[in-house]
């Protein structure tokens, strides 16, 4: 039986999807269900595609007849696991072949992969895997020309007919075009959010890419700096110093992100993050979130330093400041090389407050506009003069004892 007319209609739909902003998982589900509804006997399918992401190398989706699609994500180097090494997909990627067909039942059955043995035991009768290669920014992450791989399995006696396979080959080609659109869009978002932060990334992708684009806003500014960084950089081997920096960033920037903040800059070994204040009712939440970030950074440092001591490594020490002020949030730099960041007197003040943590032997310092929302966490140490500022500023020290006692209680 020919599926030509219905397959042509499905191909036209995929072209329309490729011209929009398709979701790979949603498209995949609709394609699988459409194929089944027109008589192609697919009972199980798996789709795999590479991405460009600091944590994730490959994503996959699994569809089974009558069930929802399940999305899986694999971290870098996870694909070296035994399951991947013994999979039909790896064979396709590394052999250069485009198609792998295996009968799973009857006298011509060939079950030469562990996965196929399991599928045969579950009652599947036929297996077809195909790779469609295309150029993508994700190519370098997998070391080969990237693309999509889809497996199709049938549980019908006799498996797929020649007409079924022709239909699957046609659909996969059109589906690959739509997937390429979605993959490229996802990669663009991943890159901008990784290097700029979520909010700044969205602003850039929305077209705010000219120098001076931005807005003035009020925000809690969280600033941190690594202690003894010059000495550490001179005395540690390059890889050891880089590992120490990353542990430090995990404590400070990681805690800010976890608390809902936006990390805007890594200024050498300093971290600049903000918690924007929107409407009045959101202010208390955002300001408390900044105090949560301070607490999280201090707690993470305890855990990280315990591990570093165990391995004979240098411990990490840093200072933190939290202050509230008005900042200019937008593009700065030269027209051909911009940075999306915050500038203004409040940012300078945050850096100068942090610099006092060393002289005052404090883990963290905050202004009264931050401290008053979490009085149990901050203790006044009176007014202090900041370099370059005319009037003294009342500062509050992070109350480590009170926070520790509350945690135990």
What would the pLDDT profile of 363-402 be if each residue is shown by its tens digit? 999 999 999 999 999 999 999 988 777 788 999 999 876 5
The total domain count for the chain is 2
Helix ranges, 133-262 (H):
139-142, 162-196, 198-205, 229-235, 238-258
Domain CATH code at residue 85: 3.30.450.40
Residues 191 and 280 in one domain: no
Residues 191 and 204 in one domain: no
Structure confidence at residue 141 (pLDDT): 46
Residues 402 and 277 in one domain: yes
Residues 120 and 140 in one domain: yes
Mean pLDDT score of the chain: 85
Q: Say whether pLDDT at 277 is over 70.
A: yes
Using one digit for the tens of pLDDT, what is the confidence trace for 86-104? 889 888 888 888 999 999 9
Domain CATH code at residue 277: 3.30.70.1230
Residues 227 and 281 in one domain: yes
Domain extent for 101: 4-195
Residues 142 and 208 in one domain: no
Residue 58 burial (10 A CB sphere; 0-12, 13-18, 19+): buried
SS3 state at 279: coil
Q: Which of 195, 220, 242 is at the close of a domain?
A: 195
- Measured CA to CA, the distance from residue 62 to residue 25 in angstroms comes to 9
Residues 223 and 363 in one domain: yes
Using one digit for the tens of pLDDT, what is the confidence trace for 44-73? 999 998 887 777 788 899 999 999 999 988
- Measured CA to CA, the distance from residue 105 to residue 125 in angstroms comes to 5
Structure confidence at residue 197 (pLDDT): 67
b/e for 328-364, b at 16 or more Cβ within 10 A? bbbbeeeeeebebbbebebbbbbbbbbbbbeeeebbb
Percent of the chain with pLDDT over 70: 83
Residues 22 and 153 in one domain: yes
Using one digit for the tens of pLDDT, what is the confidence trace for 197-234? 666 666 666 666 666 666 778 889 999 999 988 899 88
**Structure confidence at residue 79 as a pLDDT band (50, 70, 90):** low
- Measured CA to CA, the distance from residue 370 to residue 293 in angstroms comes to 12
Structure confidence at residue 2 (pLDDT): 56
**Structure confidence at residue 405 as a pLDDT band (50, 70, 90):** very low
Structure confidence at residue 364 (pLDDT): 95
**Structure confidence at residue 80 as a pLDDT band (50, 70, 90):** low
Residue bearing tokens 């901050």: 378
Which pTM was predicted? 0.68
Residues 173 and 218 in one domain: no
**Structure confidence at residue 118 as a pLDDT band (50, 70, 90):** very high
Residues 186 and 217 in one domain: no
Residue bearing tokens 């407050």: 353
Evaluate whether 294 touches 261 at the Cβ level (below 8 Å).
Answer: no
Q: Which of 132, 162, 195 is at the close of a domain?
A: 195
Q: Which of 145, 166, 195 is at the close of a domain?
A: 195
């Amino acid at each position: 039986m020919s599926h030509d007319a219905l397959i042509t209609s499905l191909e036209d739909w995929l072209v329309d999807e490729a011209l929009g902003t398709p979701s790979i998982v949603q498209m995949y589900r609709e394609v699988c269900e459409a194929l089944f509804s027109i008589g192609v006997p697919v009972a199980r399918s798996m789709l795999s595609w590479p991405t460009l992401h600091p944590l994730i190398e490959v994503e996959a989706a699994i569809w089974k007849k009558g069930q929802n699609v399940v999305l899986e994500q694999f971290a870098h180097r996870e694909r070296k696991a035994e399951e991947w090494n013994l999979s039909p997909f790896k064979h396709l990627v590394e052999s250069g072949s485009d198609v792998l067909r295996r009968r799973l039942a009857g006298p011509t059955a060939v079950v030469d992969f562990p996965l196929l043995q399991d599928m045969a035991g579950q009652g599947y009768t036929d297996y077809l895997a195909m790779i469609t290669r295309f150029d993508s920014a994700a190519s370098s992450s997998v070391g080969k020309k990237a693309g999509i791989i889809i497996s199709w399995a049938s549980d019908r006696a006799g498996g797929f007919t020649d007409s079924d396979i022709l239909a699957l080959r046609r659909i996969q080609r059109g589906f690959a075009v739509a997937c390429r659109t979605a993959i490229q869009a996802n990669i663009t978002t991943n890159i901008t959010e990784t290097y700029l932060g979520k909010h700044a990334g969205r602003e850039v992708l929305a077209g705010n890419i000219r120098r001076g684009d931005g807005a003035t806003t009020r925000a809690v500014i969280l600033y941190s700096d690594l202690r003894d960084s010059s000495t550490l950089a001179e005395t540690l081997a390059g890889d050891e110093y880089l590992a120490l920096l990353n542990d430090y960033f995990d404590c400070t920037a990681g805690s800010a992100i976890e608390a809902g903040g936006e990390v805007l800059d890594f200024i050498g070994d300093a971290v600049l993050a903000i918690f924007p204040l929107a409407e009045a009712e959101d202010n208390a939440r955002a300001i408390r979130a900044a105090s949560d970030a301070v607490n999280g950074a201090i707690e993470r440092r305890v855990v990280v330093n315990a591990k570093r001591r165990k391995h004979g490594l240098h411990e990490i020490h840093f200072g933190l400041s939290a202050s509230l002020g008005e900042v200019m949030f937008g593009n700065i730099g030269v027209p051909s090389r911009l940075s999306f960041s915050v500038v203004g007197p409040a940012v300078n003040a945050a850096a100068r407050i942090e610099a006092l943590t060393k002289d005052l032997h404090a883990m963290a310092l905050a202004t009264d506009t931050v401290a008053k929302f979490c009085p149990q966490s901050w203790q006044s140490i009176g007014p202090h003069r900041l370099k370059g500022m005319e009037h003294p500023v009342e500062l509050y020290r992070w109350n480590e004892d009170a926070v520790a006692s509350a945690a135990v209680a």
